[in-house]
Structure 1
Amino acid sequence: MKGSTRKVGSKWQYVVDLGRDSGGKRIQKRKSGFKTKKEAEQALAKMITELNARTHIEPSKTLFKQYLIDWLDSKEHSFSAQTLSLYRSYFTNHIWPVLGNLAISKLTVTHLQRFIVELRNKGLSDTTVKRIYDVVNAALATAEKQQVIPKNVASLVDKPKIKRKEMQIWSKEEVHRFFEVSKESRYYIAFLLALTTGMRQGEILGLPWKNVDLDTGLLSVSQTLSHDGKQIVSGAKTNSSIRTIALPRFVVSELQRHKIQTAKNRLLLGGGYEDCGLVVRSSKGTMGNPSNLRREFIQLIKKAGVPFIRFHDMRHTHASLLLQENINPKVISERLGHSKIQTTLDVYSHVMPNMQKEAAQKFEDAVFGAM
């Protein structure tokens, strides 16, 4: 395979001779715009090498916007409805306005670096910026695998980093104070499950009675309520999130009481009651509303006079209190549904210093105490 370079105006170009087609017409591949002859010769050598090795990928003219649409369509059965909806919002609100009208083959590291800066300038959180970047990275990784592009340029960009915020949790005393004022709340059982099992909000609101075994004191997580509170989603956040959790005896008793009260409400409303089959439900028996739950939570926090935390921080409180009681991190990881124990240790590393001191003291007592 032969090629040559030549000057066209003030720039240089290369031409590669690819032979002739079936009609005898010469086939050539050329590229222009090089500032020097040396640059053109280097690009020519690279092109000939790729063509000989059959590794050359012709630049795609497909717009990144169209590729993202096709990519997400291909993931329809792999992603949950919530994930698909979230990704579409990322596309329309953030990705398409900046990168959508660029050909996927024209995307560069500079484009993506500027894109990340623009996301931050919008005031988005570090977590949101990283999630949007991860979507772009995943789509381009697929494009590289499918040989739509020769290289995923997102893999060459420094990934956005998340500054870990100091975790807000309650002490044992604060947990007790909150429970004292929440006992009469319609959502009391939801708060109780959050603090005693570490379940996520969607897992609690999506928990059916059929998954609760009051005889054995076990419940299983196998579905969630969507963020908008409109549908039950089979499965959980990850495969490891589908799990069985042992309940304290006190919680079993409270669930039994709650079940009896739910049955009484159903009888009182009669035909006006819709039995959704879930543990946490509205006064009319329908699925619990996430917004109402969070609103009630905030009001009870104020009433109890305890530090403000997010609903999700009750999950963190559960794990942190267990670690402080020297419960094996492996057990805690299983209760939370983490795929790896290292995730648990990383997230709750703030508890470790106190555990280190206690371990050192116990070692001293055991080994040197008798001396």
Structure 2
Amino acid sequence: MSFAFIRKRSKNYIVYLEYKDKETGKKVQKNMGSFEKKRDASKKLNELKDSIFNDELTLPNTINVESFLVDFLEKYKINLSITTYNCYLRICKKYLIPLLGKYKLEELKPIHIQNYVDDLVGVLTPQTIKIHINILNLALKKAYRLRLIRENVVDCIEIPRVRKFKNNIYNKENMVNLLQICKGTPLELHIFLASGLGLRISEILGLTWDNINFSENTITIDKITVRNNGSVILKSPKTESSERTISAPNEIIILLKEHKKKQLEAKLRGEIKNSSNLLFFDKNEQPIAQDVMSKKFNRFLKENNLEHIRFHDLRHSHVTLLINSKVPIKVISERVGHSNINTTLNIYAHALKEMDSEASDKISETLFKLG
């Protein structure tokens, strides 16, 4: 397969054609013109690309969207987590293939994709529709690179605007009240881990006893729970930054020791085996699904007449409290497992804005109200 590119040499822009020599099998680069202005070189490049495309278009009448999507997803799943792959596969089978699968790749037009999006507006959320288009975009980008299509038609469509999600959080008073009410309940340790360490629900449910270092008062997060074909399994976190070891408050360590003691006593009585060494497990001693824990937490809030928040919002509340307590952003970012500081800054811009206003008030008091 041939391809063309521009390379700057001295003051000129040179368009090259690279192809494989049929006799030697080696790559050859051929100078296709030298230009003083980049726009002239770009024009020549586009002409050359059109020529290459027309000569090398592969099997234009035999590949339809359905067969290409299935093949693409099977090969691309190595880049996806189990949950994301299953989600993509479900979307392809339920929506993309039934509605777009019949079209041949080169026949797919922007209007087909736009109609697909418009038909789903009001049926699915903008966030979900965006996932559908992302799958299609990834697949068609590959089709374009393979010269199966002339353009990625996804680039031409409009998708519903995704409203920025506003996190509900508990303030310090509400958090303290929650921790008091949950004491002695089955959710006590879960709530303390989320509120006191900012752990995600999947991270809490993925903890095993070898993750707890009682001598150093630290907790290592190296597994999460995910659903896979109807069962719940343990797997590595999505990103390297999510794997981390953090120090834990003494109050949480004490709760963990009590929890471990109860498990050991239950083992000695022959009531449980816990061969997976999990902190939390269901009646079959299997990892607990995230949605199961979320439902339990929702019921707990209702039964105790507490303001509704998601379990994940305990993590947001935790981070907001750290920001308000003037803990450095870099420390917060590393503790909660964000890939970089910008992620923390973007998610918790509201709290930082309040701190900026507070800083303005303090400088005003310090410098301008001396008299």
CA shift for structure 1 position 275 = 3.0
Distance 1:51 1:194 in 2: 54
Q: Given residue 52 of structure 2, which amino acid in structure 1 is its aligned partner?
A: R
Structure 1 residue 291: deviation in Å? 4.2
**Where does residue 346 of structure 1 map in the other structure?**
346
CA distance in 2, matches of 1:273, 1:53: 68
Deviation at 1:105, TM superposition (A): 1.6
- The correspondence of residues 30-109 of structure 1 with structure 2, limited to 5 A, is 49=47, 53-56=51-54, 57-58=56-57, 60-61=60-61, 62-109=63-110
Alpha-carbon distance, 1:304 to partner: 3.0
Is contact 1:223-1:233 (8 Å) kept?
Answer: yes
Kindly provide the CA deviation profile for residues 155-205 of structure 1, in whole angstroms up to 9, marking residues without a partner as x: 233354310233211122222222223222223212211112222211111
Q: How many residues align?
A: 323
| Distance in 2 between residues matched to 1:52 and 1:289, nearest whole Å | 52
**Structure-2 separation of matches of 1:283 and 1:111:** 49
- Partner residue of 2:288? 288
The worse-fitting range, judged by mean Cα deviation, of 90-99 and 152-161 is: 152-161
Question: 1:269 matched to which residue of 2?
Answer: 270
Map 1:1-371 onto structure 2 (within 5 A).
49=47, 53-56=51-54, 57-58=56-57, 60-61=60-61, 62-122=63-123, 124-227=124-227, 230-270=231-271, 272-282=272-282, 285-368=285-368
- Distance, in Å, in 1 between the alignment partners of 2:50 and 2:365 is 72
Q: Which structure has the bigger radius of gyration?
A: 1
* Whole-Å separation in 2 of the counterparts to 1:51 and 1:305: 66
**Change beyond 3 A, Cα 1:165–1:49:** closer
Preserved contact between residue 198 and residue 336 of structure 1 (Cα < 8 Å): yes
| Match in the other structure for 2:40 | none
In structure 1, distance between residues paired with 2:284 and 2:76: 37
Please tell me the residue identity of whatever aligns with 2:163.
K
Contact 2:301 2:307 in 1 (8 A): yes
Q: For residues 121 and 296 of structure 1, what CA distance do their matches in structure 2 show?
A: 30
Structure 1 146/51 Cα, relative in aligned 2: closer, same or farther at 3 Å? closer
- TM-score w.r.t. structure 1 length? 0.79
| Contact 1:64/1:99 (8 A) holds in 2 | yes
Given that 2:81 and 2:238 are in contact with CA atoms closer than 8 Å, whether structure 1 keeps it comes out as: no
Partner of 1:40: none
Contact residue 117 and residue 159 of structure 2 kept, 8 A = no
Alpha-carbon distance in structure 2 between the residues aligned to 1:369 and 1:257: 53
In the alignment, the residues of structure 2 paired with residue 360 and residue 331 of structure 1 have an alpha-carbon distance, to the nearest angstrom, of 24
1:366, distance to aligned residue in structure 2 (A): 4.3
Q: Which runs of 5+ in 2 are unaligned?
A: 1-43
- Root-mean-square deviation over aligned CA pairs: 2.5
State the 1:237 CA deviation: 2.5
TM-score, length basis structure 2: 0.79
Q: Measure, in 1, the Cα distance between the counterparts of 2:93 and 2:224.
A: 26
Deviation, structure 1 residue 303: 3.1
